[in-house]
Amino acid sequence: MATIIFGIAAISGVLAILVTVNQLSQRVDAANESLKKISKHLGVHEALLESLEEELKDLVEHGDKLEAIRLYRSTTGLGLEEAHEHLQELERGKRDEGLSD
């Protein structure tokens, strides 16, 4: 009987922690969205993205794709898949530029 009570208490504790983590995650997402809006309003967002794009292009040109992925992820907060896709788009753009020359 004590084992069942302990199990229920443990499950309740874990569920409470999960709910709290979910709420915190939602708050962080809302704060990030607010920061994006503020930075866009101030013009910081575009300048940061332009600077990032140039640095990513340089890294890709020099064959340092892993560093480019790390930089993209740390700057944007996006995942590995999004970083990889973005770099592939940069490479495709570079190849397309080479074809039109």
Residue 27: pLDDT over 90: yes
Whole-number Å distance between alpha carbons of 59 and 68: 6
The DSSP-derived string for 38-82 is: HHHHHTHHHHHHHHHHHHHHHHHHTT-HHHHHHHHHHHH---HHH
Residue 99: pLDDT over 50: no
Q: What is the pLDDT of residues 45-71, one digit of tens each?
A: 677 778 888 999 899 888 899 999 999
Q: What is the pLDDT of residues 83-96, one digit of tens each?
A: 999 888 888 876 55
Of 25 and 98, the structure prediction assigns the larger pLDDT to 25
